[in-house]
Structure 1
Amino acid sequence: MRIILAPMEGVVDQHVRALLTRIGGIDQCVTEFIRVNDQVMPAKVFHRLAPEILHGCKTPTGIPVKVQLLGGNPASMAINAVEAIKAGADAIDINFGCPAKTVNRSEGGACLLKQPDRVYNIVKAVREALPTHIPLSAKIRLGFDDRSSYLDNARAVAEAGADELAVHARSKADGYRPPAYWEYIADIRKHLTIPVIANGEVWSLADYYRCREQSGSTDIMIGRGLLACPDLARQIKADLNKEIYQPLQWLDICRMLLNYFDQTLPFYEGKNSGNRIKQWLAYLRLHYSEAGDFFEAIKRKREPEEIRQHLQDTLA
C-alpha cells in the first residue's frame, strides 16, 4: 500500500515535498510537470525543477521522487525523457491529466485524452527510448469533455508499455468539482494488469477508506488533501497500522510555515516574499479554521520581516 504525493504545478515544489515527506506517511513524490517542446532540454532545466535528482532522486528524508514530463510530441517526449535520465532521474511519469487551458492549448495534459491513439503513441515512444530498467508511469483523467473515453485511454497507457497508471477520477470538464468517480477506477482495474493508483477528492481518513472501497486500489495519490491537512498520509498509515497518533495542531502547522517561509524567501524576495505562504493558507483553512484568520492578518503584508514577525508572534 502506497501513498503518493501528487504533482501540482506552482504549488508542490521541492520545498513542499521536503516538508510533507518529513512528517511521514508518504511513500513517493511526483514532480511538477516539466513542459516539453521541440527543443532538447539541458540538464540544468531538470536540476532546477527537480533538484532531488542531484541527490539520488530522493527528498532529504529519503522518499523517492519521480520526474514528470508534459507534452504532445512523441519524439520530443522520448528524447527529453532520455535527457532526464542522463541528468539523474531514475523514473519518468507522463502527464495526461492537467486541465489548465494554457496547457491544453499547447497540446499537453488532458486535451490528449480526446485521442487515445496519441496517448498510446507518446507512451510507446518514451517506453522504447528509455532503458528497460527505468520505470515509466502516466497519469490520466477519465476523459476530456466527458468520462466516456476512460477505458480507451487507460488501455492505451498500459498497452504502450507503462508500468503503472494513476487515474484522477474526474474528466477535464468535471474540473475539481466533487465528487470523484472512484468506481470508474474499479472498472479500469478489471481490464488492466498493471498497478492502478486512485486519485481525487481524498481529504480525510474517511475519504481514504471510501476511495479504497469504491476504486479497489490500495495505492492512493493525494494532492490538495495533503496541502489542507499536511499529516493526512501519516494519519492514514497510523490508522492502518493501529498506531496511536496525535494529529498536528495549528501551532505545529505554524512552525512548518515558518520553516517554509525561510526556505522560500530567497526565491521570492521583496513584496512577493509571502506569496507562497498565502497560497498554502488557502488550502490550510479548509482544515484549520485558524488559517483563515492568519491569512486575513497577513494578506496585505509585503515586507518579509512583517510576515515572519506574525508567524513568530503566533508561536510565542
Structure 2
Amino acid sequence: MEIALAPMEGLADAMMRDLLTRQGGIDWCVTEFIRITDTLLPPSIIQRIAPELKQGSATASGTQLRVQLLGSDPVCLAENAAQVAQLGASVVDLNFGCPAKTVNKSKGGAILMKEPERLFRIAEQVRVALPKHTPLTAKMRLGYDNTDTALDCARALAQGGIAQLVVHARTKTDGYKPPAHWEWIAKIQDVVDVPVMANGEVWSVADWLRCREVSGVQSVMIGRGLVTQPDLARQIQALQRGESYQPLTWEGLMPLIQEFWQRVRINVTPRQAPGRLKQWLALLMRNYPEAQQLFNQIRRETDANVLDVLLLGNTAQT
C-alpha cells in the first residue's frame, strides 16, 4: 500500500511538499505540472519548480519526488523528459488530468482523454527517451465529459510503457465536485497490468476505507485531504499497520503554520504572502475550528508585517 501527495497547482509547491511529507506516512509526492509546449525548457525552470532535484529528487524528509510534465506533443515531451531525468528525477510523471480551461484549450491535461491514440504515442515516446532505470508514471481522469474512453485511455497508457497509473475518479466536467466514482478504478485495474492508485474525495481515514472497499485498490493519492489534515497519511498508515496514533491537534499544527509563514515571507513577495497564508487556513477550516478563528482575524489584513507580529511575535524579517 502506497500513499502519495497529489500535485496541486498553486498549492503543493516545494514549501508545502516539505511540510506535509515531514508529517510521515507519505511514500512519494509530485511536483506541480511543468507545461511543455514546443521548446526544450531551460534547466533553471525545471529546478525552480522542483528544487528537490538538487537533493536526490527527494524532500528534506527523504520522501521521493516525481516530476510531472504536461503537454500534448510526444516529441517535445520526450525531449524534456530526457532532460528532467538528466537533472536527477527518479521518476517522470505525465499529466492527463488537469481540468483547467486554459490548459485544456492548449491541448493539455484532461482534454487528451478524448484521444487514446495520442496518449499511447506520448507514453511510448517518453518511455523510449528515458533511461531504462527511470520509471514513467501517469495520472488520468475518467474522461472529458463522459467515461466512454476511460478504459481505452488506461490501456493506451499501459501499452505505451507506464509503470503505474493514478486515476482521479472524476471526469473533467465533474471538476472537483463529489462524489468520486471509485468503482471505475476497479474497472480500470481489471483491464491493465500495471498498479492502479485511487485519487479523489479522500478526506479522512473513513473515506480511505470506503475507497479501498469500492475501488478494490489500497494505494491512494491524496491532495486537498492532506492539506486540510496534514497528518492524514500518518493516520492511514497507523491503521494499516495496527499502530496507535494520536492525530495532530491545533496546538501541534500551529508551529507548522508559523514555519510556513516564515518560509512564505522569504520566498513570496510581501504583497502575495498574506494570500498564501489565507489559502491554507481556508482549507484547514474543514478540520480545525481554530483555523476559522484565525482566518477571521486576518481576513482583511494585507500587511505582511502585521502578520509577522501576530504569528511570530516580532517584526524581524529576512
Which TM-score tier does this pair reach, normalised by the shorter chain? Answer: over 0.9
The structural deviation recorded for 1:191 is 1.1
Paired position in structure 2 for 1:8 = 8
- Asked if 1:43 corresponds to 2:43, the answer is yes
Cα distance in 2 for residues equivalent to 1:283 and 1:303: 21
Aligned residues: 313
Paired position in structure 1 for 2:87 = 87
The structural deviation recorded for 1:288 is 1.1
- Once the two structures are overlaid, the 10-residue window that deviates more, 297-306 or 156-165, is 297-306
5 Å matches for 1:14-163?
14-163=14-163
Report SS of the residue matched to 2:230.
coil
The structural deviation recorded for 1:274 is 1.4
TM-score, scaled relative to structure 1:
0.97
Instruction: Decide whether the 8 Å contact of 2:167 with 2:197 is kept in 1.
Output: yes
Report SS of the residue matched to 1:155.
helix
Cα distance in 2 for residues equivalent to 1:159 and 1:63: 28
The structural deviation recorded for 1:144 is 0.2
Report SS of the residue matched to 2:22.
helix
- Asked if 1:175 corresponds to 2:199, the answer is no
Instruction: Decide whether the 8 Å contact of 2:85 with 2:131 is kept in 1.
Output: no
Cα distance in 2 for residues equivalent to 1:127 and 1:228: 35
TM-score, scaled relative to structure 2:
0.96
CA deviation profile, 1:112-151 (whole Å, cap 9, x unmatched): 0011111111111101111111100000000001122110
The structural deviation recorded for 1:312 is 4.1
Instruction: Decide whether the 8 Å contact of 2:70 with 2:108 is kept in 1.
Output: yes
- Percent identical pairs in the alignment equals 49
5 Å matches for 1:227-306?
227-306=227-306
Report SS of the residue matched to 1:40.
coil
* Code of the aligned partner of 1:281: L
Cα distance in 2 for residues equivalent to 1:150 and 1:16: 31
Report SS of the residue matched to 1:259.
helix
Report SS of the residue matched to 1:227.
helix
* Code of the aligned partner of 1:176: Y
Instruction: Decide whether the 8 Å contact of 1:2 with 1:219 is kept in 2.
Output: yes
Cα distance in 2 for residues equivalent to 1:105 and 1:25: 36
CA deviation profile, 1:241-273 (whole Å, cap 9, x unmatched): 222211111122221111011112122232322
CA deviation profile, 1:6-53 (whole Å, cap 9, x unmatched): 000010011111101111010100111000010111211111000101
